Amino acid sequence: MTRAFVYPVLSAAFILTLNGCEPAKTVQKLEGYTQGTTYHMSFWSSKNTVDSVALQKQVDEELQRLDVELSNYREDSVIEKFNALNSTEPQMLGDEVIALIQAAKVASEATQGCYDLTIKPLFDLWGFKGESLTQPSPSKLKTALSQVGFNQIDIIDSTHLRKKNPTLKIDLSSVGQGYSVSQIAGIFKAQDIDNYLVEIGGELQTFGKKPDNSPWRVALEKPLSTQRSMHKIITMNRTEPMSVTTSGTYHHFFDKDGKRYSHILDAKTGTPITHNTVSVSVFDENATQAEVWDTALLCLGREAGMDVANKMGIAALFIEQEGDHFTEFSSTALTDLKTVVIE
């Protein structure tokens, strides 16, 4: 799935002194590469001193573990080994993968199959993994569609999955980074870090506040393919966990014969989406849930997506493009979310 970006606003004075004679509280940072993208984490603790070297090691080990579990770009991952196995026998995938599939299934049902993790055969058919687009013939598209659908898998229990169609393949790219954010946030919590901003590939979660008692602020990227610039500033006026994730159509696409093809495919038709919604951001306490829904709602587009968001209580920001003009639409749950300010 194509990811857009929400990134921290790194304003001046990340090193700030509190009032009185208490030691200065410093925002520490971790940065690196994982899952084919980058991560940036800012944190400080009001309770203890954090060993950033030890924390970096723990974070990297967890991200490496998740990469081996969830990544579709590496043949030795748990999910790719499952995909490569042409069998209808139950397979052990582990509770993490099964939980992600179950979360995605809820969104798939709500979108009437537009969003579906079993879409991988269609991605492979269109050639979106490479540098050129291959528009499939109707017969090849029909064959690929026959391999797609949540109705073709059985969730046996919390750790086992069975293919009804042995050629079925699952793509976890629309849930993996959000889940990774949730897992790293769990590590921070276990270390008694009560203030942080965790970002992986543009998906992020905040908790607490900055040392000067001001809220965390992040920037939402303007949905343009020609440049990278800030579109909106999001202020997290809450100390409890809040995640924001974004899915967009504007960085990854192909132009062919005067027509633009998005990387976001409708799993019901097997073809790229054609509506004018270029970005969907979702706000949720859980980064995994947020990432599932941003892609699902983007697949539908603003009109149908807004109906689903309002029905399911999803706090979502839709951005549509007409020429050089962008129009924003907020779901009811986002309008009611007073602790998040978008300006």
How many domains would you assign to the chain?
1
Quickly list DSSP for 32-68.
EEETTEEEEEEEE-SSS---HHHHHHHHHHHHHHHHH
Residue 271 reports pLDDT greater than 80 = yes
The tokens for 175 are: 């849930």
Say what percent of the chain tops pLDDT 90.
Answer: 71
- 190 vs 19: which has the higher pLDDT: 190
Provide the domain limits for residue 254.
1-343
Residue 3 reports pLDDT greater than 70 = no
Distance CA(90)–CA(308), nearest Å, equals: 33
Distance CA(148)–CA(166), nearest Å, equals: 11
- 274 vs 304: which has the higher pLDDT: 304
Q: What is the pLDDT of residues 132-150, one digit of tens each?
A: 667 889 999 999 999 999 9
The confidence band for 10, taking pLDDT boundaries of 50, 70 and 90, is: very low
Distance CA(94)–CA(309), nearest Å, equals: 30
Distance CA(208)–CA(236), nearest Å, equals: 9
Instruction: Tell me which of 119-123, 205-209, 292-296 is least confident.
Output: 119-123
Contact indicator for 318, 327 with CB cutoff of 8 Å = no
Helix spans in 127-233 (H): 138-145, 176-190
Q: What is the pLDDT of residues 205-263, one digit of tens each?
A: 999 999 999 999 998 887 655 556 567 899 999 999 999 999 988 655 555 555 556 78
Which residue, among 167, 171, 172, 170, has the nearest Cα to 88 in the 3D structure?
A: 167
Q: What is the pLDDT of residues 71-96, one digit of tens each?
A: 998 999 999 999 999 999 999 999 99
Would the pTM count as exceeding 0.75? Answer: yes
The confidence band for 281, taking pLDDT boundaries of 50, 70 and 90, is: very high
Q: What is the pLDDT of residues 149-191, one digit of tens each?
A: 999 999 999 999 999 999 999 999 999 999 999 999 999 999 9
Helix, strand, coil percent content, the chain, rounded in steps of 5: 30, 30, 40
How high does pLDDT run on average in the chain?
87
Contact indicator for 236, 216 with CB cutoff of 8 Å = yes
Q: What is the pLDDT of residues 34-49, one digit of tens each?
A: 988 899 999 999 988 9
Say what percent of the chain tops pLDDT 70.
Answer: 85
Most confident region among 70-74, 104-108, 264-268 by mean pLDDT? 104-108
Distance CA(301)–CA(198), nearest Å, equals: 28
Helix (H) or strand (E) holding 206: strand 203-207
Distance CA(182)–CA(204), nearest Å, equals: 9
DSSP state of 23: P
CATH of the domain at 39: 3.10.520.10
How confident is the model at residue 343, as a pLDDT? 87
Distance CA(155)–CA(17), nearest Å, equals: 52
How confident is the model at residue 116, as a pLDDT? 97
Residue written as tokens 């587009």? Answer: 301
